Chain A
C-alpha cells in the first residue's frame, strides 16, 4: 500500500528529530494519538496536535501515561493506527498496558525520547538507559520490536517502519530516540506519498461464525488476522491467557502455546525485522557497535582511530530489538574485539556479549548520560582493546 497523501508533507524540511518523528507517524497513516507531556518528547505530541485536525486524526491529551497507553490500545482496536510518545518516567507507567498490547497482539507505536535516569534524572539531557526496559519492562514473557534512529531523517523513516512492523506483526513497536536526536535539527526529505510504502493490518473477512480471533494457520503464519471493533465479528479480547477463540484458559498447555507464539512471531522473524548499517566491518580487527546519538560520536572516534592506523569498523544498529544476533555471530568470527558505545553503564553490551559468546573480546565505552561521549574517551578504550 502507498501512503495516504493527506498526511504526507512532501518536500525538503529543516526539522528536529521530534518533529520528524511526528511527520513519520502522519505519513505512516497514524490517526489516533493519546499522550501526556514530558520532556524531551513533548514536541512530538505538540506537532501531532497541530497537524491532526486537518488530516482526520484524533488527538487527546490524557490524564497520565497509564491512561495514554490504555487509550492507544482502545484506539488501535477502534481501527486506527495509534501511537503515544514519552520519556523515561512516562515509559515506566506505560509498561502495564504495553504488556496488555503484547498479550492481546494490539498494533501500536510507543516513542521514547530517552533522557538520563533513573527516576526524574535529567529531564533535558540525553541518555540511552531505557534499552533494557524497552525489551523487558512489562512483566511476563513477550517480545517487542525497537528501532533506534540516529538523525532527524531517520526519525522520520523509522517511525514509518515502526508502524508497518506493528501492523504486520501485531506487536508494540518502540521508537527509542534520545534527547540529542530528538532535539537536533537537520535536513529531512519527505518523499511524495506514492513513494512511501505503508503496511495496513491484515483483517479477517470470512464468515462471522467461523472467526477465531487468535487462530493461526499456514496462511497467516504466527500472526492472527485481526478484526476491528464494530465490524460485526463480536470477538472477545483479554489480557488473561487465552485460546484461539480469545477465551480465558487457565492451564499450562494453553499458556505454553499462547506465550510461545508471542515470542516466536518476532524472534523467528529476526532476519526480516532487524536492520543495521556497517562501515568497513569485513576488513576490521576491531568493530565499534553503537546506536542513536552514540553512533555519531563513535563515527568520529572511528576516524581518529583510522588516522592512528587501526583497522576499525562500525556496526550501527537501526533495530535494537530483536537484536541482530546472527550477524553479530558472523562478525565475531573474524574480529579480535568489539567496543560497545552507549549512553548507559552497560545495557545492550550484555546482549552483545551473549551473542559473541567468547568468540571475540567485548569492551564497553560507558557513559552515565547527561552528555555524549568525548570521542577521545572512546579512542582510549579502542587503544586499550587493540593492545
Chain B
C-alpha cells in the first residue's frame, strides 16, 4: 500500500505547516479553494506564480508550492504586472487582502483592471486590517467597530465588484468562505479566463473583527453567511454594497471579453510596423 499523502501536497508547502492563521479564519478556506481550482483548471504548476502583498492574506504566497512572491504592502498587483509582461507564458495570480489590494494598493488595482493585464486577483475580504490588530479598512461596513473606529465606522466602504467592473475587469465574482464549491468554480474559471479577473472572498476574522463586534467565533460567522447570503448571478454590480450584518449578495457578475494589455500592444504595433514587428508573447519568455 502506498503511503498516505495529503491531496494538496503538490500545491502546498507542507514543510511550512502549521500556518499562521487563527482557528476559524477564512483565509485557509480560500487557499483550499485555490488549490482545488488549480487542480481543476489543469494548468501547469511550473508555469503558475502567486504574488501577495502584506497582511494575513499576504502570507498566502508563502504556503503555496509554486513560484511565489511575498512583496511589499499594496504592490502585489504592479509586481504581478511586471512578472506577467516579462514572461507571458506564466499564469499569474495575486492573492491578498482587502486592505492591501484596495487601500494602499487601490490605485494599482484600478489601473491593472483598466489595462486588462492578464492577471487573476483573488481578494480575501475580512472587513478589517487583521495582521496589525483589527483596524478600519476601506471595506469595513458602517458602523462596525475596529480599534481605529472605536465608536463605529462612519466612512462609506468600497463595493469591490463594482470597483472592479467599472475599472475594466473582464471577470468579476463574489463568494463567501462558506461557499467553497462555488468559490472553487469561480477561481477555476478565472484561472482560465484571459484578462483581469477578480474574485472577492468574504472571510471570517474571528480573532479581531468578530470578537470586537461581539459576533461570536468563526462558525457563527459561517452561520451568518448561510442565513444571510443570496446568489444573484449577473446582478448589476452597483447593487452589491455590503451593509453591517445585512444580506450578502454573491455570484458571478461579469464575464466578458476585451483585448488584454499584450493583445492590444501586439495589435497596435502590428498596425504600425507591419511585418517588421514580431508578436510579443510566450516565445519571449526567458526560462532557465
- Which A residues contact B (CB, under 8 angstroms)? 31-32, 34, 53-54, 56, 58, 60, 62-64, 66-68, 70-80, 82, 96-97, 99-100, 203-205, 227-240, 247-248
- Which residues of B (95-114) have their CB < 8 Å from a CB of A? 107-108, 111
B285 near A230: Cβ-Cβ < 8 Å? yes
Min CB–CB distance A287 → chain B (angstroms): 42
Min CB–CB distance A381 → chain B (angstroms): 43
CA of A303 to CA of B85, assembled, Å: 51
What are the 7 tightest A-B residue pairs by CB atom distance, in nearest-first order?
A74-B82, A78-B86, A79-B286, A71-B82, A231-B288, A67-B78, A74-B83
Min CB–CB distance A86 → chain B (angstroms): 15
CA of A227 to CA of B287, assembled, Å: 8
List 5 A-B pairs, Cβ < 8 Å: A71-B81, A78-B84, A96-B72, A236-B62, A238-B69
Does chain A have a CB within 8 A of B67?
A: yes
CA of A78 to CA of B62, assembled, Å: 18
Residues of B within 8 A of A237 (CB): 68-70
CA of A62 to CA of B114, assembled, Å: 12
A66 near B269: Cβ-Cβ < 8 Å? no
CA of A68 to CA of B68, assembled, Å: 20
B90 near A230: Cβ-Cβ < 8 Å? yes
Which residue of chain A has the shortest Cβ distance to B279 in the bound complex? A56
CA of A71 to CA of B72, assembled, Å: 12
Residues of A within 8 A of B77 (CB): 67
Residues of A within 8 A of B278 (CB): 56
Does chain A have a CB within 8 A of B273?
A: yes
B288 near A228: Cβ-Cβ < 8 Å? yes
Residues of A within 8 A of B66 (CB): 234
Known contacts A97-B75, A229-B67: A78-B107 contact under CB 8 Å: no
Residues of A within 8 A of B85 (CB): 32, 58, 60, 71, 74-75, 78
Residues of B within 8 A of A203 (CB): 288
A239 partner, pick from B45, B72, B78, beta carbons under 8 A: B72
CA of A72 to CA of B86, assembled, Å: 9
Which residue of chain A has the shortest Cβ distance to B63 in the bound complex? A236
Candidate in A73, A74, A232, A239 with the most chain B CB atoms within 10 angstroms: A74
Min CB–CB distance A347 → chain B (angstroms): 27
B82 partner, pick from A73, A228, A231, A238, beta carbons under 8 A: A73
- Which B residues contact A (CB, under 8 angstroms)? 13, 16, 45-47, 49, 51, 61-62, 65-72, 74-75, 77-87, 89-90, 107-108, 111, 261, 265, 269, 272-273, 276-278, 280, 284-288
Residues of A within 8 A of B83 (CB): 74-75, 77-78, 229
Residues of B within 8 A of A56 (CB): 278, 280, 284
CA of A238 to CA of B73, assembled, Å: 12
A70 partner, pick from B45, B46, B75, B272, beta carbons under 8 A: B75
Which residue of chain A has the shortest Cβ distance to B81 in the bound complex? A71
Which residue of chain B has the shortest Cβ distance to A53 in the bound complex? B269
Which residue of chain A has the shortest Cβ distance to B70 in the bound complex? A238
CA of A96 to CA of B62, assembled, Å: 20
Known contacts A56-B284, A230-B47, A248-B62: A70-B277 contact under CB 8 Å: no
Residues of B within 8 A of A238 (CB): 61-62, 69-70
Min CB–CB distance B282 → chain A (angstroms): 10
B13 near A236: Cβ-Cβ < 8 Å? yes
A228 near B71: Cβ-Cβ < 8 Å? no
Q: A82-B86, A205-B288 are in contact. List 20 more A-B contacts (CB 8 A).
A: A32-B82, A32-B85, A56-B284, A58-B85, A70-B72, A73-B71, A74-B81, A74-B83, A74-B86, A78-B84, A79-B285, A96-B75, A97-B72, A203-B288, A228-B288, A229-B83, A230-B67, A233-B67, A234-B45, A234-B68
Residues of B within 8 A of A239 (CB): 70-72
Residues of B within 8 A of A63 (CB): 78, 107-108, 111
Residues of B within 8 A of A82 (CB): 82, 86
B70 near A58: Cβ-Cβ < 8 Å? no
Min CB–CB distance A224 → chain B (angstroms): 14
Residues of B within 8 A of A231 (CB): 46, 287-288
B61 near A229: Cβ-Cβ < 8 Å? no
B46 near A78: Cβ-Cβ < 8 Å? no
A58 near B108: Cβ-Cβ < 8 Å? no
Residues of A within 8 A of B62 (CB): 236, 238, 247-248
CA of A124 to CA of B52, assembled, Å: 38
Residues of A within 8 A of B68 (CB): 234-237
CA of A230 to CA of B82, assembled, Å: 14
Min CB–CB distance B50 → chain A (angstroms): 9
Residues of A within 8 A of B273 (CB): 53-54
CA of A70 to CA of B67, assembled, Å: 17
CA of A232 to CA of B284, assembled, Å: 17
Which residue of chain B has the shortest Cβ distance to A245 in the bound complex? B15
A70 near B288: Cβ-Cβ < 8 Å? no
Which residue of chain B has the shortest Cβ distance to A97 in the bound complex? B72
Which residue of chain B has the shortest Cβ distance to A237 in the bound complex? B69
Candidate in B47, B51, B82, B272 with the most chain A CB atoms within 10 angstroms: B82
